[in-house]
A and B are shown apart, each in its own frame.
Chain A
Amino acid sequence: MVQYDKDDKKQVVPLSELKPGEKGQIAYLQAKGKNQMQKLLSIGVIPGMSVLLVQRFPSYVFKLGHTQFAVDKELASSIHVKPVK
């Protein structure tokens, strides 16, 4: 289980706030509706996975495992990650 304690949450930022080339480990998801959450889970956006942000504009592109995904700003900000140096 990934830990969700309060201290952890403080260092955690939405994926949309990383810069291109920065890495992070997914901490938790905070999607608007159940559908959005399901979409993210179905493409494998799951706590514990590491992501690499590839680009921010015109859409957010990130690398997850060996796959690249494009999402809009709303979905990108619902993925909360802990930046990894």
Chain B
Amino acid sequence: MLRDFVKNIGYDDPLEICLSELEALLQYNYRISKRSAALLLLQEDPEMFELVRKNEAERAEKIFSIIEKIKPHYSYPLAYIISERRQREASRIAAAVTTVGKKGSLGIKEALSRAMMNPFIGGPILLAVMYYGLYKFVGNFGAGVVVDFLEDKVFDQHLNPVFIDVVNRFVPYPVLRDLIAGDYGILTLGFRYAFAIVLPIVATFFFAFAIIEDSGYLPRLAMLVDQIFKKIGLSGRAVIPLVLGLGCSTMATMVTRTLPTKRERIIATFLLALAIPCSAQMGVILALLESRPLGLIIWLSVIVGVFMIVGFLASKIMPGELPSFYMEIPPLRFPQPSNVLRKTWSRMKWYFLEVLPLFMLASVLIWVGKITGVFGFLVRLLEHPVRWIGLPSESAVAFLFGFFRRDYGAAGLYDLKTQGLLNGNQLVVACVTLTLFLPCIAQLLMNIKERGMRVGVAMSVFILFFSFGTGWLVYVALNLLGLNL
């Protein structure tokens, strides 16, 4: 039976003649057969055109003119003709070698799939996924139970005293002691934040994300939100980097490469930098607003509002092709535990290799900054906008830290809360401002790398003013309404 399936798919005469002419002219080794190369040319593959222009010297013009000459023979683009021919051959082969069983009722998977894509049932399902996956698992368990254990039990009671003791015994210079085990020391602050606060949060997030990803839920979410996302200049496809941004916005900025147009990539990068809090930051924010449900609701509404309004305006201002949406909806699957663990592990490794050195570096920079007085100067500079939005001057430090890593800054605020320096209103204003405030240094670098210097810097400057502006508005609004959260 196999001999029925020819190796090459034959096309009709004009196309075959054209193919043999092209094959004769192609001299360079493209590492694929000459016929494949010629077919790519006929389908107007831009990469193949570029290669031919570079490598075929004087033959290139002749090649392009042959392609132009064949086009008028057909009333449809050649890519269309070729795909159709291939599809027919593929269907013929498939029909000859497969049998399709009769399918009974829809089955539970199909029913669940339809429910996820139903606009009325899909919404509550999304809320349930967010509530259990993000709030309960990442927020309460990761950022609550695990962080408390590592912070209070492991670091405060056991590790930090040991660090301080050892350093005091073996390091004779107080300046160096500060660097290693002082208030902002590499071990006592950088290492502790990275391991006790950030690690449990990103680990639980990446675990939850891997389960959601492997189940096939994301494409269904994408089709559900497509129409809403069109209003902010994105297509449903953008839901994947944006949800990943709730884990690590730096990683998500890299993932915006999967978006088809430059316009979508810029808008998504911008929204990730401005309005999508990463998991570490969100964990700390959930902890800060833990006993204040109204505060949490206000924080959430402001961030969602900013996301929609700024996205809407950006889509009005940005020139370029409007997004179109198409996506495969794979069957729902039960996630394989080994796959989920492997994905979580590799993402954590990536994150940790990136974050740990930065935390250490931040400690060193703060140490240098403190010795030289630069840090003090920047903090005093930041104290002004911080006071305008009604926060104690001490929180300026947290905002400066926030630039080294957003989560680092949020963790700084957490320290202030534990000391009882912030009331409810101040906590909400601080959380809003810090969520919108400049992305961490890693994300800033990623923005510049992916979007170029001009766009990367312009975004950051806008965000600097916008975050404090919004913080101020929230502060004023809370006061005018006489709310005490």
Contacts and interface: CB of A to CB of B under 8 A. Distances in A.
Interface of A is mostly: mixed
Contacts of B118: 55
A51 interface: no
B87 A49 contact: yes
B84 interface: yes
A67 interface: yes
B326 A69 contact: yes
B84 A72 contact: no
Nearest to B90: A44
B79 interface: yes
B219 A70 contact: yes
Contacts of A43: 326, 328
Interface of B is mostly: helix
A64 B382 CA distance: 58
Q: Which of B83, B114, B225 has the most CB of A within 10 A?
A: B83
A71 B79 contact: no
A46 B86 CA distance: 10
A38 interface: yes
A12 to B, nearest CB: 15
Contacts of A57: 119
Contacts of B79: 37-38, 41
A63 to B, nearest CB: 9
Interface string A40-55: 1101101111000011
Contacts of B439: none
Contact of A4 (B44, B75, B77, B224): B75
Contact of B223 (A37, A41, A44, A59): A59
Given A36-B324, A59-B236, A75-B324, A70 B329 contact: yes
A46 B84 CA distance: 6
A29 interface: yes
A27 to B, nearest CB: 12
Interface string B187-228: 000000000000000000000000000000001001111110
B329 A68 contact: yes
A70 B223 contact: yes
A74 B325 CA distance: 9
A55 to B, nearest CB: 6
Given A4-B75, A58-B223, A71 B328 contact: no
A69 B117 contact: no
Contacts of B44: 34
A34 to B, nearest CB: 7
A84 interface: no
B227 A59 contact: yes
A55 B91 CA distance: 25
A34 B77 contact: yes
A61 B329 contact: yes
Contacts of B225: 58
A4 B219 CA distance: 34
A72 B119 contact: no
A57 to B, nearest CB: 6
Contacts of A41: 79-80, 83
Nearest to A29: B80
B83 A71 contact: no
Contacts of B226: 58-59, 70, 72
A55 B117 CA distance: 9
Contacts of B32: none
Contacts of A1: 84
Interface string A8-46: 000000000000000000001100001011111101101
B46 to A, nearest CB: 10
B263 to A, nearest CB: 13
Nearest to B83: A41
B326 A44 contact: no
A47 B77 contact: no
A48 B326 contact: no
16 contacts: A4-B75, A37-B77, A37-B80, A38-B79, A43-B328, A47-B84, A54-B114, A58-B225, A58-B227, A59-B224, A70-B236, A70-B325, A70-B326, A71-B326, A71-B327, A72-B324
Given A34-B77, A59-B227, 4 more contacts: A46-B83, A58-B119, A58-B224, A75-B324
| Interface pairs A-B: 7 shortest CB-CB | A70-B223, A68-B329, A72-B325, A59-B223, A46-B87, A41-B83, A71-B326
